[in-house]
Amino acid sequence: MYVGAFHNPPRVKVCSEHGPIIIRGFGEWRPVFERDFTAAVRRIAPAADIDLEWGYPDER
């Protein structure tokens, strides 16, 4: 995993560094993960823009 903190503009980027992370059952837990992730970010940075990007590398 790669975690980067940038100051101009202020942002944090988290991604897989050397390739995709494939997680089985993604469709089942995605809504709960996104809800909980958003709530956690809002607690520490209420005005943050949240952009979760999902891809499906096995469908390429």
Per residue in 6-59, pLDDT tens? 888 777 777 665 666 677 788 888 899 899 989 998 998 898 888 887 776 666
Instruction: Assign 3-class secondary structure to 42-57.
Output: HHHCCCCCCCCCCCCH
What is the distance between the alpha carbons of residues 6 and 24, in angstroms, rounded to a whole number? 31
Query: Three-class SS of residue 58?
Result: helix
- Residue 36: predicted pLDDT: 92
What is the distance between the alpha carbons of residues 10 and 26, in angstroms, rounded to a whole number? 29
